[in-house]
Structure 1
Amino acid sequence: MHTVDLNCDIGESFGAYAMGLDARVIPLASSVNVACGMHAGDPLVMERTVALAAEASVAVGAHPGYPDLQGFGRRDMALSPREVRAFTLYQIGALAAFCQAQGVALRHVKPHGQLYNRAARDRACADAIADAVRSFDSKLVLVGLAGGQLIEAGRAAGLRTASEFFADRNYTQHGTLVPRTQPNAVLTDETAAAKRVVQAVREGWVESVEGARVPVAADTICTHGDNEHALAFVRLLRQELSAAGVEVRPL
């Protein structure tokens, strides 16, 4: 039987500003990536999000990003590898404290936004993140873009890795995500997107925007649930996976 993890980025509220539908999306996922206060989130949000995940028996992971609240971690920053390692380690430790306080296991680490994108192509950045994860806990799973440098860095560091596939994003012939600045970056046909996820899990390939067949690994699927429309898509995705004989379970 094929298996796959469904992950979702959550815990992105900050102070008086509420983002996402965390209480409703968490039970639909098998693992969640919790913002650690740098690109989004704050201590109270982190504590509440871990509690919600524990209540739903969903696996918890750290979602470290660039120190860029105003830009939501989506702007590149010229951090040195030493800085990347330190910021990553700092954020993992912060979330781990809330997990420990609530008796919840921290299972994985998935970088956020532009840090994730940079680590997919920049080996020095990827090595810095992998070293931070290994230094904190070598049993943690490192999540990165399928075929990217972060997966290679994690393996070189002796970590267990999980290759990620994006349910609603288009791919280039090089196996990278089409930049959000381009009009065809996001898939709009949800039924076709769900069937493409099943294909990636069961057959290991995706069709690029250029029409090429690109091999991909899909250990975990990135989903979003920040509005009613997105929640409906996650439900559809689970239905399609189940119908295809694919079991959804945590990493």
Structure 2
Amino acid sequence: MKVDLNSDMGESFGAWHMGDDQALLGHVSSANIACGYHAGDPVTMAATAAAAVARGVSIGAHPSLPDLQGFGRRTMQLSEAEAYGITLYQAAAMQGFAKAAGSRMRHVKAHGALYNMAAKDRKLSAGICRAVRDLDPGLVVFALAGSVMVEVARDMGLQVAQEVFADRSYQDDGSLTPRTQPGAMITELQQSIAQVRCMLQQGFVRAVSGKEVAIQADTVCLHGDQPGAALFAQAMREALLADGVTIAAP
């Protein structure tokens, strides 16, 4: 069995610092690097790309809604053309930083509200996926497992990595529990490991209601902005390796 471990990073900007990217890079196989719209800045993008290359971690763009103040987690009205434009703008910038670091960008994963909106909205998914295809049809799209975006990306001939979450709970329809609701975040390590093992070995996740929801896990997300994220990632990696799982980027 093979799976990718990814984490969102490069989310510091200016004098403001978030996360321990250097520590996280020692445990994940893919890095989703913020592109300036919800977090990150050019200096941080360059430094994070260089650090990922040094650790042998696959580089991806993490485009967001233009919402620096709300960390990209507030919904907004967006047309397909706008989704295309903001994705292409951010991903192309990240592609340039990856090239400057002596590597290449390998995937694109939308961030926050854009990600969750596109998981249910075919037009938003189409805008994002067209931008990826036009930039580089060899890029992998990271999309919420079982979502509309998986279908749209595949219909465009793009490679898709279906993403599951180690530190988020699920609803009956396979969507993530909104962060505004109790129990949205899984902070207990053993609970998180058990959830990932269930998804990998048994092909389902147990929703907060108790319902078993079928799921495919190609890449597992560990949020880098949570307290103790690096230790969380280390323990997850060690548990999966002990199960005989190969950890590698798609």
TM-score range, shorter chain: over 0.9
CA distance in 2, matches of 1:102, 1:33: 15
Q: Which residue of 1 aligns with 2:127?
A: 128
Moved more, 124-133 or 223-232: 223-232
Q: Which residue of 2 aligns with 1:104?
A: 103
Contact 1:224 1:231 in 2 (8 A): no
CA distance in 2, matches of 1:248, 1:141: 17
Say whether residues 1:170 and 2:176 are aligned partners.
no
Q: Which residue of 2 aligns with 1:56?
A: 55
Contact 1:11 1:34 in 2 (8 A): yes
Q: Which residue of 2 aligns with 1:188?
A: 187
Gap regions ≥5 residues in structure 1:
none
CA distance in 1, matches of 2:159, 2:14: 35
CA distance in 2, matches of 1:163, 1:126: 14
Matches of residues 128-147 of structure 1 in structure 2 within 5 Å? 128-147=127-146
Question: Helix, strand or coil: the match of 1:118?
Answer: helix
Aligned partner of 1:59: which letter?
S
CA distance in 2, matches of 1:224, 1:186: 10
TM-score in terms of structure 1 length? 0.97
Alpha-carbon offset, residue 196 of structure 1: 1.6
Q: Which residue of 2 aligns with 1:36?
A: 35
Identity %: 47
Question: Helix, strand or coil: the match of 2:124?
Answer: helix
CA distance in 2, matches of 1:227, 1:91: 24
CA distance in 2, matches of 1:79, 1:178: 22
Aligned partner of 1:199: which letter?
C
Contact 1:118 1:125 in 2 (8 A): yes
Alpha-carbon offset, residue 203 of structure 1: 1.8
Q: Which residue of 1 aligns with 2:247?
A: 248
Alpha-carbon offset, residue 229 of structure 1: 2.1
TM-score in terms of structure 2 length? 0.97
Detail structure 1 runs of 4+ shifted over 3 Å in the superposition. 225-228
Gap regions ≥5 residues in structure 2:
none
CA distance in 1, matches of 2:37, 2:228: 27
CA distance in 1, matches of 2:108, 2:161: 10
Moved more, 182-191 or 20-29: 182-191
Alpha-carbon offset, residue 228 of structure 1: 5.5
Question: Helix, strand or coil: the match of 2:150?
Answer: helix
For residues 145-200 of structure 1, give each alpha carbon's deviation from its aligned partner in whole angstroms, at most 9, with x where no partner exists.
00111111100110000100000111111111111111121123311210220121
Alpha-carbon offset, residue 79 of structure 1: 1.5
Structure 1's 128 and 228: CA in aligned 2 closer, same or farther, altered over 3 A?
Answer: closer
Count the aligned residue pairs: 250
